[in-house]
Chain A
């Protein structure tokens, strides 16, 4: 959407009448209209719901009829005994994902790019997508049974001197299990965008490099990576913008009271309070905190990125 606006703004500067831009690009505007309406209806109007965070909300009395209690929900949230440990868990899991799971599809894309046999490449690529299409519940069921004390993965690891144990009952292993399974789930699907970016790289650059006697490795470092850097930066920025949103569905499907110390994140806490215990005000307040932090991080990292790499979301 942003790109389109920029385009039209640029085009608009040519014509003088105020609606000329609309008239000239009416079909583009027509095409973007559903999206704009969608965002207004489902993302901007619901923001009034944030009022709930300052209320003891009672649905039958509505947003405007419920009693106003100021910052009580926020105070509850910040002073609750679990706030800091859950915030820490969230950040730990998120950063681990950023460090390990984010680069994985880039590496896969680079590797696939070097494969000469077309048949082998498409088979590998297709196979790597497959986990993306398995329902999360099923994936988590698989993880749970594979990591039991007699599970397949445990059996495998025991051969390498790993202690036989029920892995999901060990709080120390939760983050690793979460991140590794995340890589398995998303590596193929997320690599698509990088693979498409790679096809756009000018082949002549490689030819020139070949003539100059650059090795494969040098080509990757000096041609391929810089060419797809804008894509990587954009993806990274988007990722940073959701750093407090760890996929809580997967957490809920994998954790148990024994692993709360490392597995319980802000969003699962919000889920338990909001959806299971009907504490709407509290969970809206917590959700608002989440969004504010995420937005702040997004803006900050975008600023940094503009300065450093000239690639930015806006």
Chain B
């Protein structure tokens, strides 16, 4: 028997030794990885990375999480790296991200709108949540490094003021990808009235009045239920509710302090009092608006080209023709809409590697894959032969996407194969939007809505970052001002507050220290220019 024990003991100690060597071997590959930066995929590893990312409802329409999508499985196969996805509850991503950060128990990779991290992304690094990526990008991420070298202006957007990279960014470097929502009107009625597509605000007023006189229940349907939507509403009709860059003077200004804001406010209040705007515009939802549109109750609205316009075109009844028009301007001949909603090339989000990640090099390699040629095609179009085919050198979606055999909608089917339809660490390809906007009406919309984008671009506040202390100050100012401002804007429009109070409205915002806010933004802008 004692012999038996000896054998067992020997076997055990051998096993122990083996595991030690295995450990040191792993250590070796890790250091070796640093030398051979352009490692070939798939990478030979048995490690699993945990990846926190918001799961689009297009994915949950057919499977439970990203891990089950064809995209994720193909990516795992090609990179050789197993990913364990962690998703926040639907519609709760901000709250759950907050809890995740507060818990201190971080996954390896967090994909989030890191640009808007309170205190700035630099603080996320300084407070030890995520790592600065400069070194790891240099050693393990040749694709994104090359992209940044070739596009220094875009690289600048994704940095902190002191030149640190914090995410593998989501980039949309084409104007067509940036204006995917805009004004849509009942073209059939305009034809009936013998009117042209509206160009100026006055044209809009005439058009909306005509709608109303024709018995259209809601001449202009627009949601303004939160800060973001109120900003959109103003942007369409010429004012701005927040800081912007004044191109003429190269200084930061605060929209509500400028005359065009008052003009827009007065105009909207007039429209509201004449029953041209939806009476429920502060409480309604997109779902309700969409059903109103399909029932022919709406004359004009603001909506997205993929998901809304296409549905309205395809499901139109009784000759209703919802068609895109250009963003309105003040005078005929104006170069474009100054404040229309338009995204940045850098979409302010991306995948960051956390301080809990034991092997940042591996995480970087995984993420970098999507910026290389093969990965770019996978993340943008999916799997060749399955979700797309190359036709005349251009990727074109197959019927699996366009007419899904399982009955999935186009968006839901796309979400299974690619990430370009939502967001992710990638360079979004313009081919995505050209494929997705497959109807002629949608293609027209892209042209209409991106008209004058160069002009809009000049006035957009660059992606500046206040310093740590300033960030707290700016946030405090914004907290007070935004609550007050949104409240007052809606009161002015609905007539609960008369326009005579406008000056005290401006004064109150000044008392909330907006002028200090402008100063901080200006200083941050100077630093941005010097990045």
What residues of chain A have their CB less than 8 Å away from a CB belonging to chain B?
Answer: 58-62, 76, 80-82, 144-145, 147-149, 165-166, 168-169, 171, 256-261, 264, 272-280
Contact = CB atoms under 8 A, between A and B. Distances in A.
A257 B480 contact: no
Contacts of A81: 480, 484, 512
B280 interface: yes
Contacts of A82: 480, 483
A279 B98 CA distance: 10
A179 to B, nearest CB: 18
B146 to A, nearest CB: 32
Given A59-B103, A81-B512, A275-B94, A148 B283 contact: yes
B282 to A, nearest CB: 5
Nearest to A76: B476
A166 B282 contact: yes
A275 B489 CA distance: 25
B282 A278 contact: no
B127 A275 contact: no
Given A59-B104, A264-B483, 13 more contacts: A80-B480, A81-B484, A82-B483, A165-B279, A169-B280, A257-B227, A257-B487, A258-B282, A258-B487, A258-B490, A258-B496, A273-B479, A277-B118
B284 A260 contact: no
Interface of B: 94-95, 98, 101-104, 118, 127-129, 224-227, 230, 279-285, 288, 355, 475-476, 479-480, 483-484, 486-487, 489-491, 494, 496, 512
13 contacts: A62-B104, A81-B480, A145-B288, A148-B283, A166-B282, A169-B494, A256-B282, A257-B486, A258-B494, A260-B486, A261-B487, A274-B98, A279-B475
B279 A256 contact: no
B275 to A, nearest CB: 10
A61 B94 contact: no
Contacts of A148: 279-280, 283-284, 288
A260 B496 contact: no
Contacts of B101: 59, 278
Contacts of B94: 275-276
Q: Which 4 A-B pairs have the closest CB atoms?
A: A257-B486, A258-B490, A278-B118, A149-B279
Contacts of B487: 257-258, 260-261
Nearest to A273: B479
A29 B273 CA distance: 68
Nearest to A62: B104
Nearest to B99: A275
B284 A60 contact: no
Contacts of A273: 479
Contacts of A147: 283
Nearest to B485: A257
Nearest to A145: B288
B98 A278 contact: yes
B105 to A, nearest CB: 10
Contact of B230 (A168, A257, A259, A275): A257
Contacts of A144: 283, 285
B219 to A, nearest CB: 14
Given A82-B483, A148-B284, A257-B486, A279 B225 contact: no
Contacts of B282: 166, 168-169, 256-259
B127 A60 contact: yes
Contacts of A169: 279-283, 494
Contacts of B480: 80-82
Contacts of A272: 479
A166 B218 CA distance: 13
A136 B68 CA distance: 31
Contacts of B279: 148-149, 165-166, 169
Nearest to A57: B102
A279 B117 CA distance: 11
Contacts of B355: 60
Nearest to A258: B490
A58 B283 CA distance: 36
Contacts of A61: 127-128
A145 B283 CA distance: 9
B98 A275 contact: yes
Contacts of B225: 256-257
B490 A257 contact: yes
Nearest to A61: B127
Contacts of A145: 288
A131 to B, nearest CB: 21
A280 B102 contact: yes
Contacts of A256: 225-226, 282-283, 490
A76 B475 CA distance: 13
Contacts of B230: 257
A29 to B, nearest CB: 34
A277 B475 contact: yes
Nearest to B97: A278
A149 B280 contact: yes
B357 to A, nearest CB: 14
Contacts of A149: 279-280
Nearest to B119: A278
A261 B487 CA distance: 8
B55 to A, nearest CB: 19
A295 to B, nearest CB: 25
Contacts of B129: 60
B164 to A, nearest CB: 17
A259 to B, nearest CB: 8
Nearest to B230: A257
Nearest to B491: A258
B102 A59 contact: yes
B95 A60 contact: no
A290 B30 CA distance: 52
Contacts of A168: 282-283
Contacts of A278: 98, 101, 118
Contacts of A277: 118, 475, 479
A281 to B, nearest CB: 11
Nearest to A259: B282
Nearest to A56: B472
Nearest to B101: A59
Tell which of A165, A171, A260 has the most Cβ of chain B within 10 Å.
Answer: A260
Contacts of B281: 169
Contact of A276 (B95, B104, B494): B95
Nearest to A274: B98
Tell which of B103, B104, B512 has the most Cβ of chain A within 10 Å.
Answer: B104
